[in-house]
Structure 1
């Protein structure tokens, strides 16, 4: 009797192929049960490695030096059974979901090409495995149906690849890895109650009473509202972070949802949110997952770091805090490593913090993904911001019945009004700097890195601080700590920053200057002024100004339009931050943007696909932040030296590059070429460029860009 092997471990242990197939099938079924496709996922799991039954593969696993494609056989099997979703999943479970392609794709890596590819006989599969017809609950069709079908396939793919990873991992390690076993949603809610008892009991003052009213409304809604789409429109200072968490945990308990996912626009503010959640819920229950975090294997297999390292792979944790880039690019990826977490998004509460920051060129695909999650995957989604984008018409295009419900009660907005706005008109750099020098503590936010550096150079240097992405993330964190310390102690603190300081960064200035921008950006900048409401309204000003023409003359249309729309909407408005003003701004902005809300035609390509879905092509096109930049490593700091040793030894791991990220500055292609042209860079290979000329990195302003290599994007 032939023994068919699925895996062999380094210590000689062997896993029977049938054991692997049934193990994967059971995992996949459990995952897909959350959206009604468990039985189908079980069959996909059984068939995914059918090609391993070939004699050639069995020789390879026993040490023969032969190559064999073991995924095409299962894909062809499912094509013969007219099960295209299963065929896509199996064809891509190692290399990634392929494009569907067409009949002339024989030389291309598409599903159509796989259909015609010769495969090794795998007769043993039929002697050990029986495939049954699988009943499943189809998703509700949104739009024309093509996007819905492709999204459903990607979710099935997630179930398969995570199941494959987990079963293989358990066998190779010889024991079950330290996954799961976190506090329950009920326990997390109890911890939140204890935190609220200590921090929200007997509120004093109108502001704290309004904050408590928002918190109570969110808790009540969590218990009472059925799953769906929600908005939480809370003015800056209204405590939306804790209130949205309270809604999410109450809602998850009420409807037996599995986790809370908090989606934040920028890595620059993720640490403070994670820190707040860990203080409330405990460090072991909160996962931070973004490009700047890397978990190490700790001492002992059950360490907190080891658990988080594994949880980052598939988001198997009760509270996940991630970035919009990580979240949406995963939803449109075709790679197994990124897609394996998608099934754990189902049956969750998702909070989209600062929802208005979703980039305009990708707004429609992101809205469509939120709609799919809400309607078909037992997910409640909350759009949370002080400047609520007018997304109702975009959701109505997908499904007229999909309407959001507001969680925040009617508010006395005067209680939250902490600033006055004034428009100064056009200011040249010298006039702006003169004004800033007249303040002891002041924040100035501009649109371009070059503008920030120019204005900073004109300031009195004692007590002045610069912030921009021409500084490494490590450098910026140090400067933010310095800023907070100076503000707290009442010392001189003049800050010139790009927009990186706007969205949620916890700083509190008496005066803010903001270069003309989109209305949401102007209001976000205002959120750094009198943030705690400790100063009189009449002393807290946000000054808007128009910068010199040199900074705005060559802006791309997609960046100029928000600025011009804001200018038109607020003309004559007394209350720039009134809800009706904000709604009018976003409504006009989206109407004027039209087709540019899906610049890469992501939605239309899937809708028109007619079964031949462009998974791989769209994955390559979908980049939420498109900068066309190159990374320059800045060799400063004691921690960097150890990383450099690993670089120079030849290591090129993802983990190493992630750690190097805090020592890196991204520059545009022309700027990179200019630095290279003057011999300022050392190249270890095509991937790695280290700044050789350290005179070009200033301890106050970061990397100096050669003259004549300007930038055209807001950063």
Structure 2
């Protein structure tokens, strides 16, 4: 008896892949990926069922140029009949993205999950049952913890990640006529040896400060080898070497517990590059992936997307490398996303060590959803989470609410006496200063850093300085320009030359500069202490001679900062030592109390997930850590000029977008509108925006805020 070969894929040179071959290949990979969180059977089921809709005559015609066919609803319907809701949802969205659940009464063919199920149940799909003659669907049990709506949504998204990655990987291997091979990278044992080699020159330590840093490093190494996956804090004073220390904890734990990777989450794009570069120097380029908006080329997906139509670079889309350095925006928005390209990597967070650098920067309006997601990864997916900062937020009550059975361990418990040994500055308050008075004070100092709250204030103060050695820093300067300015600043500081810097907050976290004096406009205590970390950073001067001056500027504070400034004032008024652990804890507790629990989930993400039936798409639309979306404007300056020409000629590539990121400035909508009105922008076919009038960019202050004589306030 002749059998008809049902095909899943057909290449231009005539090679064919049967549906059964594709299903088996996808199921094998999906099961292996899901094994990281004990869901192999669920992965096997989703992989075998995801494309059974291709067993229709309509889809077979589609392979030869016929009309589009809904081939996802069939597998979703079959899994739902088997009471496998997670697999059904994952299959229903494996091309167009996870849908909202909707209701059982949704019209057949509606964009919701139930709309798609009803289309299948009412017989509106072309017959696909030929699959039953080739195989039976495997049995699977849903993990007990995924029984609640919240945890069920998270589990479904993780299973969806496994399916999307497996589907794209198997399809890509066939289309490229090349078998899938895991990414080539070093083992955790080899990475540990490289770290040991890197820090070997630190011992024996020279000087009291380096001795304390080495104590912290050794404690982190020891704790990493001792503890299994869990929830940790790493509370290290500024200057304590927490970046390498936290990496050492992660590598020690990953090596001892056979964990798969390390994900380092950083709040600012402006400092991610130097952290990634430091890790490359320690571990090697091939073992570190830098992932953020400046290096990512986003796919725009819709229902017509398919693995064969959307080429993906595996390491970028899957994070299948030992060490990933990314931003909080990319990390958390991926965890609440519904698109295949953004979710593909999520399963690789299981059995990983997650380090949240500057954890106090988790945005308050999304604090509860962020903490809940971290708790899920630790509770059910074998991950470790480390909240790493010199200014530890008071998050214990929220974690205890979401993960009451998991203790929070401090990796490096330091006695107050040890904390005191890192004291390098003294604080004083100067009251309200006009920009003119502030500039006069700065002018009197040879080397000084001043941090203000807005871009406009930075320009106002900078323009009132005179003489050599004055610098301005803000995110209105493209990254390559800022890096060049910072190199010059460090050189002048090292050589004892005049160096007065006026900056926005971008310089506060992770930028390695050492000033004898710092001025900080009144802000949250965490920002004040971060600015203080740029003063006497190496401890070469007595603390009493290294003054951090806190002042109130002449402009009213931005609304964004009002609550943190209010909490900061309470601490400044009532705590004698604003840098003590007690003051830091008081500040964060006060900050959370002033806002209240509702403000910690301002867009009601968690209540929405509890009250509605798996609203994946609505949640993804609501969850955006950056409230005011920015647009990148590329500057055709220096190397950027040639890169923009490549873009104009249509030579789009990940490498090009990554290099262009060094010549881009992110602008808020009102600034973009002003530039548009001035006729200063050029829009390219790929959607990129280029500055047409390069006269609006200066080598001292970057992109002008007032291209047409307007007056606006910009933060950053």
Mapped to 1, the partners of 2:62 and 2:296 lie a distance apart of 35
Does 114-123 or 417-426 show the bigger shift? 114-123
Q: Unpaired runs of 5+ in structure 2?
A: 298-311
**Which of 306, 315, 331 is residue 335 of structure 2 equivalent to?**
331
Q: CA offsets per residue over residues 23-57 of structure 1, 9 Å max, x none?
A: 11011111111111111110110000011111111
CA distance 1:654–1:224, change in 2 (3 Å): closer
- Mapping of residues 162-201 of structure 1, within 5 Å: 162-176=165-179, 179-199=182-202, 201=203
Matching of residue 95 in structure 1 with residue 101 in structure 2: no
Mapped to 1, the partners of 2:111 and 2:411 lie a distance apart of 47
Mapped to 2, the partners of 1:292 and 1:682 lie a distance apart of 20
Matching of residue 621 in structure 1 with residue 640 in structure 2: no
Does 23-32 or 79-88 show the bigger shift? 79-88
Q: CA offsets per residue over residues 317-356 of structure 1, 9 Å max, x none?
A: 1111111111111111111111111100000111111100
For 2:22, the equivalent position in structure 1 comes to: 20
For 1:354, the equivalent position in structure 2 comes to: 358
CA distance 1:551–1:478, change in 2 (3 Å): farther
Mapped to 1, the partners of 2:515 and 2:256 lie a distance apart of 41
TM-score by structure 2 length?
0.93
Q: CA offsets per residue over residues 606-645 of structure 1, 9 Å max, x none?
A: 1222xx11111111221111223333332222x2233333
- Mapping of residues 491-502 of structure 1, within 5 Å: 491-502=497-508
Q: CA offsets per residue over residues 124-178 of structure 1, 9 Å max, x none?
A: 211112112213533377xxx3221111100000000000111111111111356
**Which of 248, 266, 269 is residue 268 of structure 2 equivalent to?**
266
- Mapping of residues 151-300 of structure 1, within 5 Å: 151-176=154-179, 179-199=182-202, 201-293=203-295
Query: In the alignment, is the contact (CA less than 8 A) between 1:671 and 1:709 conserved in 2?
Result: no
Mapped to 1, the partners of 2:257 and 2:181 lie a distance apart of 27
Q: Which SS does the other structure have where 2:460 is aligned?
A: helix
For 1:301, the equivalent position in structure 2 comes to: none
Query: In the alignment, is the contact (CA less than 8 A) between 2:107 and 2:118 conserved in 1?
Result: no
Mapped to 1, the partners of 2:466 and 2:125 lie a distance apart of 73
Query: In the alignment, is the contact (CA less than 8 A) between 1:140 and 1:376 conserved in 2?
Result: no
Does 705-714 or 267-276 show the bigger shift? 705-714
Q: CA offsets per residue over residues 443-470 of structure 1, 9 Å max, x none?
A: 1111100000111100115211111111
Query: In the alignment, is the contact (CA less than 8 A) between 1:51 and 1:122 conserved in 2?
Result: yes
Q: Which SS does the other structure have where 2:101 is aligned?
A: coil
- Note the C-alpha offset of 1:538: 2.0
Mapped to 2, the partners of 1:184 and 1:218 lie a distance apart of 20
For 2:345, the equivalent position in structure 1 comes to: 341
For 1:606, the equivalent position in structure 2 comes to: 609
CA distance 1:672–1:287, change in 2 (3 Å): closer
For 1:662, the equivalent position in structure 2 comes to: 662
- Note the C-alpha offset of 1:566: 0.6
Query: In the alignment, is the contact (CA less than 8 A) between 1:512 and 1:526 conserved in 2?
Result: yes
- Note the C-alpha offset of 1:573: 2.0
- Note the C-alpha offset of 1:228: 0.8
Q: Which SS does the other structure have where 1:15 is aligned?
A: strand
Matching of residue 410 in structure 1 with residue 411 in structure 2: no
Matching of residue 372 in structure 1 with residue 373 in structure 2: no
- Mapping of residues 33-44 of structure 1, within 5 Å: 33-44=35-46
CA distance 1:662–1:516, change in 2 (3 Å): same
- Mapping of residues 476-625 of structure 1, within 5 Å: 476-548=482-554, 550-552=555-557, 555-556=558-559, 558-594=560-596, 595-609=598-612, 612-625=613-626
CA distance 1:127–1:642, change in 2 (3 Å): farther
Mapped to 2, the partners of 1:116 and 1:309 lie a distance apart of 36
CA distance 1:242–1:633, change in 2 (3 Å): closer
Mapped to 2, the partners of 1:664 and 1:242 lie a distance apart of 29
**Which of 116, 124, 127 is residue 133 of structure 2 equivalent to?**
127
For 1:9, the equivalent position in structure 2 comes to: 11
Query: In the alignment, is the contact (CA less than 8 A) between 1:502 and 1:528 conserved in 2?
Result: yes
CA distance 1:85–1:292, change in 2 (3 Å): same
Mapped to 1, the partners of 2:78 and 2:710 lie a distance apart of 55
Q: CA offsets per residue over residues 399-443 of structure 1, 9 Å max, x none?
A: 323331001132412210011111101000000000111111111
Q: CA offsets per residue over residues 652-671 of structure 1, 9 Å max, x none?
A: 66765554333222333233
Q: Which SS does the other structure have where 2:594 is aligned?
A: helix
For 2:641, the equivalent position in structure 1 comes to: 641
Q: Unpaired runs of 5+ in structure 1?
A: 296-307
Mapped to 2, the partners of 1:55 and 1:309 lie a distance apart of 32
CA distance 1:676–1:194, change in 2 (3 Å): closer
Q: CA offsets per residue over residues 152-206 of structure 1, 9 Å max, x none?
A: 100000000000111111111111356423211112112222223222x212322
- Note the C-alpha offset of 1:294: 5.9
For 2:393, the equivalent position in structure 1 comes to: 389
Query: In the alignment, is the contact (CA less than 8 A) between 1:356 and 1:520 conserved in 2?
Result: yes
CA distance 1:331–1:710, change in 2 (3 Å): farther
- Note the C-alpha offset of 1:264: 1.2
Mapped to 2, the partners of 1:498 and 1:616 lie a distance apart of 36
For 2:405, the equivalent position in structure 1 comes to: 401
- Note the C-alpha offset of 1:601: 0.8
- Note the C-alpha offset of 1:689: 3.6
Query: In the alignment, is the contact (CA less than 8 A) between 1:451 and 1:551 conserved in 2?
Result: no
Query: In the alignment, is the contact (CA less than 8 A) between 1:392 and 1:403 conserved in 2?
Result: no
Query: In the alignment, is the contact (CA less than 8 A) between 2:634 and 2:664 conserved in 1?
Result: yes
- Note the C-alpha offset of 1:273: 1.7
For 1:67, the equivalent position in structure 2 comes to: 68
Q: CA offsets per residue over residues 280-317 of structure 1, 9 Å max, x none?
A: 2222212212222269xxxxxxxxxxxx9531210111
For 2:303, the equivalent position in structure 1 comes to: none
Mapped to 2, the partners of 1:668 and 1:131 lie a distance apart of 51
Matching of residue 146 in structure 1 with residue 152 in structure 2: no
Query: In the alignment, is the contact (CA less than 8 A) between 1:214 and 1:409 conserved in 2?
Result: no
Matching of residue 439 in structure 1 with residue 440 in structure 2: no
Mapped to 2, the partners of 1:3 and 1:419 lie a distance apart of 76
Root-mean-square deviation (CA, aligned residues, Å) is 2.0
Q: CA offsets per residue over residues 48-94 of structure 1, 9 Å max, x none?
A: 00111111111221x13322111111112222222221111001101
Mapped to 2, the partners of 1:398 and 1:680 lie a distance apart of 49
Q: Which SS does the other structure have where 2:205 is aligned?
A: coil
- Note the C-alpha offset of 1:263: 1.0
CA distance 1:654–1:606, change in 2 (3 Å): farther
For 2:117, the equivalent position in structure 1 comes to: 115
